Amino acid sequence: MTLMNTLRVHRKSVAADGVVALELAAPDGGRLTDWTPGSHLDLVLPGGLTRQYSLCGDRWDPRRYRLGILREPGGRGGSARVHDELAVGDEVGVGGPRNNFPLVPSPEYLFVAGGIGITPLLPMVQQAELLGARWRLLYGGRNRAAMAFLDELGAYGEHVEVRPQDEHGLLDLAGFLGEPRPGVKIYACGPAPLLGAIERVCAAWPPRTLRTERFAVDDSAAPARATPFEVELARTGVRVTVPVGTSVLDAVAGAGVEVLSSCRQGTCGTCETTVLAGRPEHRDAILEDHERAAADCMFVCVSRSLSDRLVLDL
């Protein structure tokens, strides 16, 4: 179950090889819901597919949202529909904005983008610049032609290091970040190997320095429990058994309780649910380690239970 508004495609342009920039506006040209850097939209595409895309436009323009969308050859068809079917004037369903990757206050920021991972970071560098924070961006990609929004980033001069792989090889993360030190926030978005590499480099930095945004959940590990567990819905006292292979989201829906959802992959944050008792097994791509340890919320589309019973605020 999702909650959607309708917006209209105002402009569609090529931002790089394989990347389109899509500008959305209200059908009446009116003001859009405010958002903050790091936010994304749920886009309902022709055919009913829902996909999440980072807002990458001017955070202070109240009448336009901009998305940068990479055509993913191995994807599930969502990006291809944007590239091939969506046209200026078309109406699309939109959920959000929602922010799982917020920019927290800091005197200094280091941003690392790989490929289309530049999109959530564009509004962040705009904000860091406006606030007068110290900041630098390291931006990698296959080659310059495939790297979106280079023209806009050119305005920031030496703050931005553009490092296409065909010219420079792999990103020198340790060299860019420098010595571990307090008072810095590092924001990274890009493919999983890049984020894995930056996590290894940042292991020596103070806790909670690094924030990452992932495009997909790493679900290579099997769930910790190989047996069903019970979910108690605190508002009614109803108890639901969650079988192996069934999500909590679907199990509670079977009991007549609909939780708002969108991606059903643990990446968008829509289905966040408060945990009142029990130990969830977090399988999302959103929470940071200290948030997982708190065990007070979970994303019921993918996360499961370590304990025999969870009590949820549903």
Query: By C-beta, is 148 or 217 nearer to ligand FES?
Result: 217
Choosing from 248, 271, 287, 297, the residue that interacts with ligand FES (CB under 6 A) is: 271
Least distance (Å) between residue 100 CB and ligand FES: 9
Query: By C-beta, is 95 or 140 nearer to ligand FES?
Result: 95
Q: Which stretch binds ligand FES (CB under 6 A): 138-146, 163-171, 256-264, 275-283?
A: 256-264
Q: Which of residues 157-216 bind ligand FES (CB under 6 A)?
A: none
Q: Does 292 bind ligand FES (CB under 6 A)?
A: no
Least distance (Å) between residue 171 CB and ligand FES: 29
Q: Does 287 bind ligand FES (CB under 6 A)?
A: no
State both tokens at 260.
Answer: 């708002």
Q: Does 299 bind ligand FES (CB under 6 A)?
A: yes
Q: Does 50 bind ligand FES (CB under 6 A)?
A: no
Q: Does 268 bind ligand FES (CB under 6 A)?
A: yes
Q: Does 262 bind ligand FES (CB under 6 A)?
A: yes
Q: Does 95 bind ligand FES (CB under 6 A)?
A: no
Q: Does 127 bind ligand FES (CB under 6 A)?
A: no
Q: Does 301 bind ligand FES (CB under 6 A)?
A: yes
Q: Which stretch binds ligand FES (CB under 6 A): 75-83, 250-258, 266-274, 289-297?
A: 266-274
Give the separation between CA 234 and CA 79, rounded to whole angstroms.
39
Choosing from 38, 266, 278, 280, the residue that interacts with ligand FES (CB under 6 A) is: 266
Q: Which stretch binds ligand FES (CB under 6 A): 91-99, 162-170, 184-192, 255-263?
A: 255-263
Amino acid making up residue 11: R
Residues forming contacts to ligand FES in the complex (CB under 6 A) are: 261-264, 266-271, 284, 299, 301
